[in-house]
């Protein structure tokens, strides 16, 4: 390390070479004669005692890192002969408070003023066209910057961690804002993005915790990943129609954002785009969106409802994870898969209807949905993933369709309100602990054969828990099977499983009406009514419209024959003239007849 305190450069010298005075820690001042035309790379690098420098007009070129690490340098005056400030020229000059940049400068190099923590302001002349990457990175005292109309690009991390910067006005000449350009500018409260900007780089405003609002002009076609991540004061944002995709983590942890409208131009919403936006209460997803990324709305704890348009074909894993206020969700018929943890911990979600397009329910898809009391699993689903409904403590009943071939481990673990379950004959595998700790589960009805991996499927169920099966089913033993009590229900019929699930004996008298409402068990089964409560007011009723009479009824119960007859005298009944439409998506059919005269009656006839 050189200890020189002063050096006289003679007038015969025309250039100062690379690292010429590097590490001259005792050098406090330096006069550069007018004969010098160039200063090499790192010429005064780490001259930590150098306090001020005047660069003569003879200088036409300066290398990189010329004054890097000159921690004592407080003031620099550039001559009008220099056209560029090289990369890292003043990097680490922590005492620099005053810099005069002439109008001849066209380029501010990468890291030019990196870490100049005492620099309070900077005025860039009209000739500057580009601000290099990390040019003012970490200039924590920088509160004011004038960017001229000549600047077309702001490099990556150009003003990153300039925590004293309170506002920024960009000229109409700027077309791109580099990644992390203003990241960590915690004092920045507003920024005007001009209509000339086409690209906002990833992380451009990440961690700008004082930024309250942003208007993105229609010129912008892409917003990079995490561009506004962690802007915890951001309450509103306007996304223009020029945007076609919302990148990952763009609004991650924008905790004060209350609503957002996604324009019709957007086709995809990226991973964690709105994750952690805890005050987001509503979001409009347009019909242009085809994909919702993983964790897109995860932990949006105040989001109460969401409608997913028919254009969406995929919903990523954990998309709505932890949306604890979500009480309503509409899943369209375009979605084929409910991903892993998609709605996990949505503790206010009371019910879910899955469309017929869904073929699989992913791992932990509804894990911890403690308010979920009912779920409709369509006949398209072939697999129920591990822990899919784990800890859904309000789920009292579930209908597993014949399409399902596998129920994975812990699928219904801890569903403490579940009282009965019917396993269709399509199921060939059931994972360990699939129905473990279902403390209210009193029965499990198997339509087909016993699963090959029987041990550990059930456990800690209701007192008196029993397994039911039919004649011809293989793998079961009586009176116990794998330690569980078993009941052979004889010849197969769809009604015994229904009776057991409702809490009746599998061979109960179908003509009886146990709750005294006059609706027999057979009628309740046929019309999909709850046989344990009074259903007299829920029976189908004829409706007269003009000269037509109609009756709408549930017609989807297996093993039941439905017929609608009409009469004019209550003695002679016939199906002649009765037109039946349906069943619809809800298994409802409607019978209609033209009223033939002053007297007309209709009745629903069921047979088993």
Identify whether residues 357 and 455 lie together within a single domain.
Answer: yes
Q: Is residue 364 part of a domain?
A: yes
pLDDT at 482: 87
Identify whether residues 391 and 484 lie together within a single domain.
Answer: yes
Q: Is residue 486 part of a domain?
A: yes
**Contacts with 572 (C-beta within 8 Å, 6 or more apart), sequence order:** none
H-run or E-run covering 497: helix 495-501
Identify whether residues 485 and 593 lie together within a single domain.
Answer: no
Q: Does residue 2 surpass a pLDDT of 80?
A: no
Q: pLDDT tens for residues 42-99?
A: 999 999 999 988 889 999 889 999 999 999 999 988 888 888 999 999 999 999 999 8
Q: Is residue 587 part of a domain?
A: yes
H-run or E-run covering 538: none
Identify whether residues 478 and 597 lie together within a single domain.
Answer: no
Q: Is residue 40 part of a domain?
A: no
Looking at residue 374, which CATH number applies to its domain? 3.80.10.10
End position of a domain, from candidates 474, 490, 506: 490
Identify whether residues 447 and 547 lie together within a single domain.
Answer: no
Q: Is residue 436 part of a domain?
A: yes
Q: Is residue 55 part of a domain?
A: no
Identify whether residues 357 and 482 lie together within a single domain.
Answer: yes
Q: What is the DSSP string of 144-166?
A: EEE--TT--EE-TTTTTT-TT--
Q: pLDDT tens for residues 242-253?
A: 999 899 999 999
Average pLDDT, the chain: 93
Q: pLDDT tens for residues 473-483?
A: 999 999 999 88
Identify whether residues 477 and 547 lie together within a single domain.
Answer: no
202: nearest Cα among 219, 184, 177: 177
Question: How much is the average pLDDT of 218-229?
Answer: 94
End position of a domain, from candidates 490, 516, 548: 490
The answer to whether the peptide bond before residue 171 is cis (omega within 30 degrees of 0) is no
Identify whether residues 554 and 474 lie together within a single domain.
Answer: no
Q: pLDDT tens for residues 139-191?
A: 999 998 888 899 999 999 999 999 999 888 888 899 999 999 999 999 999 88
> CA-CA distance, 203 to 184, in Å (whole number)?
10
Identify whether residues 365 and 484 lie together within a single domain.
Answer: yes
Q: pLDDT tens for residues 531-569?
A: 998 988 889 989 999 999 999 999 999 999 999 999 999
14 pLDDT band (50/70/90 cuts)? very high
Identify whether residues 569 and 457 lie together within a single domain.
Answer: no
pLDDT at 192: 83
Total domain count, the chain:
2
Q: Is residue 125 part of a domain?
A: no
Q: Does residue 513 surpass a pLDDT of 60?
A: yes
Residue-number span of the structural domain to which 591 is assigned: 540-607
Q: Are strands 130-131 and 107-108 parallel, antiparallel or unpaired?
A: parallel
Q: Which two tokens stand for residue 25?
A: 């820690």
Taking the model in full, what pTM does it have?
Answer: 0.84
End position of a domain, from candidates 490, 525, 560: 490
Identify whether residues 467 and 563 lie together within a single domain.
Answer: no
Give exposure, 430-448, as e/b (b: 16+ Cβ within 10 Å): bbebbbbbbeebbbbbbbb
Q: Is residue 312 part of a domain?
A: no
Question: How much is the average pLDDT of 33-43?
Answer: 94
pLDDT at 1: 44
> CA-CA distance, 56 to 195, in Å (whole number)?
40
Provide the Cα torsion 297, 301, 303, 304; round to 10°. Answer: 130
Site of tokens 């439409």: 581
Identify whether residues 553 and 482 lie together within a single domain.
Answer: no
């Amino acid at each position: 390390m050189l200890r020189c305190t002063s050096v006289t450069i003679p007038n015969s010298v025309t250039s100062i070479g690379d690292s010429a005075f590097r590490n001259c820690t005792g050098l406090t001042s330096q006069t550069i004669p007018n004969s010098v035309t160039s200063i090499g790379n790192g010429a005064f690098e780490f001259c930590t005692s150098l306090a001020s420098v005047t660069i003569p007009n003879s200088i036409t070129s300066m290398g990189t890192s010329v004054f890097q690490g000159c921690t004592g340098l407080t003031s620099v005056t550039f001559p009008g002969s220099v056209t560029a400030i090289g990369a890292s020229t003043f990097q680490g000059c922590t005492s620099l408070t005053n810099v005069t940049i002439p109008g001849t400068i066209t380029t501010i190099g990468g890291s030019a003023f990196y870490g100049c923590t005492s620099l309070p302001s900077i005025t860039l002349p009209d000739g500057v066209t580009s601000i290099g990457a990390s040019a003012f990175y970490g200039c924590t005292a920088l509160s004011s910057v004038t960017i001229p109309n000549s600047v077309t690009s702001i490099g990556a991390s150009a003003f990153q961690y300039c925590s004293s910067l309170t506002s920024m006005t960009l000229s109409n000449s700027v077309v791109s804002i580099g990644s992390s350009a203003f990241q960590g500018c915690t004092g920045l409260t507003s920024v005007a993005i001009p209509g000339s900007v086409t690209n906002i780089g990833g992380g451009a405003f990440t961690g700008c915790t004082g930024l309250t609002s942003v208007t993105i002009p229609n010129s912008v076609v892409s917003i990079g990943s995490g561009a506004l991540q962690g802007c915890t004061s951001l309450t509103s944002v306007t996304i223009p129609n020029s945007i076609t995709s919302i990148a990952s983590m763009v609004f991650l942890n924008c905790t004060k954002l209350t609503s957002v409208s996604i324009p019709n131009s957007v086709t995809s919403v990226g991973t964690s785009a709105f994750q952690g936006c805890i005050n987001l209460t509503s979001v409009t997803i347009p019909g242009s969106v085809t994909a919702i990324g993983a964790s897109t709305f995860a932990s949006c704890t105040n989001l109460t409802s969401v409608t997913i348009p028919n254009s969406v074909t995929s919903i990523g894993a954990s998309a709505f994870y932890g949306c604890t206020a979500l009480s309503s969700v509409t899943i369209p018929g375009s979605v084929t898969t409910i991903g892993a943890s998609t709605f996990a911990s949505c503790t206010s979600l009371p019910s879910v209807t899955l469309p017929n397009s869904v073929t699989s329910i992913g791992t932990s898809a509804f894990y911890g949905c403690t308010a979920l009391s009912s779920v409709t699993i369509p006949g398209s689903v072939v697999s129920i993933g591990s822990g899919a409904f784990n800890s859904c403590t309000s789920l009292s009943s579930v209908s597993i369709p014949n399409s399902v071939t596998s129920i994975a481990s812990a699928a219904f673990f801890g569903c403490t309100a579940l009282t009965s379950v019917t396993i269709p004959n399509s199921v060939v595998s059931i994972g360990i602990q699939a129905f473990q700790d279902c403390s209210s589960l009193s029965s499990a009805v198997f339509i087909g054969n016993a699963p090959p991996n029987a041990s550990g499927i059930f456990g800690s169920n209701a007192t008196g828990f029993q397994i039911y099966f039919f004649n011809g089913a293989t793998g079961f033993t009586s009176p116990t099977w794998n330690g569980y009590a078993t009941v052979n229900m004889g010849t197969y019929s769809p009604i015994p499983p229904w009776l057991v699930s409702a809490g009746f004996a599998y061979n109960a008298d179908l003509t009886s009406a146990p709750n005294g409402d006059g609706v027999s068990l057979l009628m309740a089964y046929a019309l999909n009514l709850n046989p344990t409560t009074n259903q007299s007011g829920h029976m189908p009723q004829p409706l007269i419209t003009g000269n037509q009479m109609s009756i709408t009824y549930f017609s989807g119960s297996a093993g039941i024959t439905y017929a609608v007859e009409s009469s004019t005298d209550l003695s002679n009944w016939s199906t002649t003239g009765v037109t039946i439409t349906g069943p619809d998506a809800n298994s409802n059919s409607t019978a209609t007849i033209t009223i033939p005269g002053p007297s007309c009656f209709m009745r629903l006839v069921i047979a088993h």
